[in-house]
Structure formats: structure tokens, C-alpha cells
Amino acid sequence: MVKVVVWGSLRAATNGAATVDVEAVNFKDVLVQLEQKYPGLKPQIERGVSLAIDGTIYRDAWFTPVKPDSEVVLMPLMVGG
């Protein structure tokens, strides 16, 4: 299982949990599993999210591996100016 940290305002969709467990081996898996286990997260994931995996921020990097001990943090989709 991979522990995924969700930001504060999304915790309404995870029954208040700041960290949720999902069965995942890569970036794409994490998002698919999050949507399945917590349908309330789906609108945000569809709008766009990034994942910080062990401190590195990834956008749309489906095949980036995650390990059971990886630090995985759900973040808004990164943009800039």
C-alpha cells in the first residue's frame, strides 16, 4: 500500500483523513485508485493535479513508479507565469 497525503480542503472527500492508503505502483495507479476509493476526489483530479513523489513534483507522468515507502503528496496542477 502507498500512503497518499491529500490537502486540507479535499479531506471532506476522504472522510476527514489527511493520509489515505491505495494499492498503486505508479503515478497513474495512484490517481485511478484515489478516484475509485474516494469518488469525491474525482472532480479535482479531472481538473488537474500533480503528485509530489519523494519530494519531486510530477505532472501527468503516468509511469513514474511509486514504492510502498514513497512519500506521495497530492497537489494542484502546477502552472507558472
Partner 1 sequence: MALDTEKRDFKIVGTRAPRPDGIDKVTGRAQFGADKSAPGMLVGQILRSPHAHARIKSIDTSAAEALSGVKSVITSADFDKASNSFNQDALDNCMAREKALYHGHAVAAVAAISPSVAKQALKLIKVDYEVLPHVIEVEDAIKPDAPIVQECRQAADTPAGLSQNITHQMSFGHGDLDAGFAKADLVIERSFKTAATHQGYIEPHACLATMGSDGKADLWCCTQGQYYVRELCADFLGMETSQLRVTASEIGGGFGGKTTVFIEPVALALSRKAGKPVKLVMTRDEVFKATGPTISTFSDVKIGMTKDGRITAAHAMLRYQGGAFPCGTIEFGLMSAFAAYDLEAVTAEGFNVMTNRPRQAAYRAPGAPVAIYPVESVVDELCQQLDLDPLDVRLKNAASKGTKSSYGPTFDDIGLVATLEAAKAHPHYSAPLGPNQGRGLSCGFWFNFGGNTSVSLNLNADGTVGIVEGNPDIGGSRASISQMAAEELGIPYDNIRTTIADTSSLGFNDVTDGSRVTFAVGLATIKAARDAIQKMCKRVAKLWDIDEDAVVWEDGYAKPAGPNAGDFEPMSIAEIAAMANSTGGPIAGHHEVNADGAGVSFGVHLVDLEIDPETGHTTILRYTVFQDAGKAVNPDYVEGQMQGGAVQGIGWALNEEYIYGDDGLLQNPGFLDYRIPVASDLPPIEAVILEIPNPGHPYGVRGVGETSIVPPLAALSNGVSRAIGHRMYQLPMSPPKILKTIKG
Contacts to partner 1 by CB under 8 A: 5, 7-9, 12, 18, 43, 52, 54-61, 64, 71, 73-76, 78-81
Of 7 and 68, nearer to partner 1 (C-beta) is 7
Q: In degrees, to the nearest 5, what angle opens at C-alpha 43 toward C-alphas 79 and 45?
A: 45
Order of all β-strands in the sheet with 19-22: 19-22, 2-5, 72-76, 49-53, 56-59
Q: How far is the CB of 69 from partner 1 (least distance, A)?
A: 13
How far is it, in rounded angstroms, from Cα 36 to Cα 41? 9
Amino acid, res. 46: E
Do the beta carbons of residue 4 and residue 44 sit within 8 Å?
no
C-beta closer to partner 1: residue 1 or 78: 78
Q: How far is the CB of 76 from partner 1 (least distance, A)?
A: 4
Nearest residue (CB) to partner 1, 32 versus 75: 75
**What's the min distance (Å) between Cβ of 33 and partner 1?**
18
